[in-house]
Amino acid sequence: MIPGTMRAMVLERPGEPLRPSTRPLPAPGPGQALIRVAACAVCRTDLHVVDGELPDPALPLIPGHEIVGHVVAHGDGGGRHPIGSRVGVPWLGRTCGHCSFCRSGAENLCPSARFTGYTLDGGYAEYTVADELFCFALPSAYDDVHAAPLLCAGLIGHRAYRMALDHPFGGAIESVGLYGFGAAAHLIAQLAVAEGRRVLAFTRAGDVAAQQHARDLGASWSGDADRQAPQPLDAALIFAPVGALLPRALAALRPGGKVICAGIHMSDIPAFPYRLLWQERSIRSVANLTRADGDDFLDQAGRVPLRVDTTSYPLIRANEALDDLRQGRLQGAAVLLP
């Protein structure tokens, strides 16, 4: 029995707490599925949306873009994912399919793209609708709670990681610095270690719990981000939304090394001397994901068993989960359960 209404946590105005609401059940449009949400992980991007740091939320908005659920109905032309099947709904909700970006494998940059939990309603709810073409099948080794963080922390973290490896030194990348050791870094650290690389984890000053967490997951070194790196890095990934980390990461890179900024928002980057960039060091940002990224990462996550550390909250306590993330009180990922 599919009910006529659902409970959801709704952002009415940025800067205010989410409000528990009862909403009519969304109707799946052409090519869409209606999905009963089993779990929705909380991403740092959700914080940026809720805190008003991103410009275009479709208010009133149901946040959440790391959704695991089961298909319960289809719109016209639907059925790619059968009734009852488990799907993951990621940040990239829809693209135009015909612009130069979409046609060249860069649908993540499509100017008409819509994003789950930002410009489309997301998964902080009992049900959601999603375009079936943008939903993923999920590896069966992960239950719903542990699959949810794969959908952004894992997936976009993986895009950033792959970008760092695409490098003048190619396979010779031995040391990878991770700045900010939260949901994304704890997954990417495991992939890097499984590939035989050395992981160095840089956390906010004095965060001994995150530093221990990093070492538990195979990091060979962890410490405060304001300390000097113990060795030159071949690549650095910045997951924390802190612009001041960028010159620090550059200063830790060996010649030809690359800094990848993996977040959607960052505080201003302080001025730095050109010598930090000199010798072919480079800086790139990662935006969104492509479906090919998702297929690639989820295939890898099916083969390399990742330990996904989560803290679960009932949906009604979404504000508490966001606050714990904001204050750095979590190890791994927060997951909401409707």
Binding interface with Zn ion (CB under 5 A): 43, 45, 95-96, 99, 102, 110, 152
- Beta carbon nearer to Zn ion, 229 or 325: 325
- Beta carbon nearer to Zn ion, 110 or 306: 110
- Beta carbon nearer to Zn ion, 43 or 173: 43
What is the C-alpha separation between 335 and 314, in angstroms, rounded?
8
Contact yes or no for 283/257 (Cβ under 8 A)? no
Min CB(205)–Zn ion separation in Å: 25
Burial 262-273 (b: 16+ CB within 10 A, else e): bbbebeeeeeee
Largest CA distance in the chain: 64
Min CB(109)–Zn ion separation in Å: 8
Assigned token pair, 251:
């200063």
E strand or H helix that includes residue 251: helix 245-252
Min CB(45)–Zn ion separation in Å: 4
Burial level of 58, CB count in 10 A (0-12/13-18/19+)?
middle
- Beta carbon nearer to Zn ion, 39 or 253: 39
- Beta carbon nearer to Zn ion, 45 or 331: 45
Min CB(116)–Zn ion separation in Å: 9
- Beta carbon nearer to Zn ion, 105 or 206: 105
Min CB(230)–Zn ion separation in Å: 30
- Beta carbon nearer to Zn ion, 41 or 249: 41
**Strand (E) positions, the chain?**
5-10, 19-24, 32-42, 67-74, 86-89, 92-94, 114-115, 127-131, 175-179, 198-203, 221-224, 233-238, 253-261, 282-285, 310-314, 333-337
Min CB(252)–Zn ion separation in Å: 26
CA torsion through residues 222, 225, 227, 233, sign:
positive
Assigned token pair, 238:
């910045």
What is the C-alpha separation between 259 and 240, in angstroms, rounded?
13
Min CB(117)–Zn ion separation in Å: 8
What is the C-alpha separation between 165 and 156, in angstroms, rounded?
14
What's the one-letter identity of residue 264?
A: I
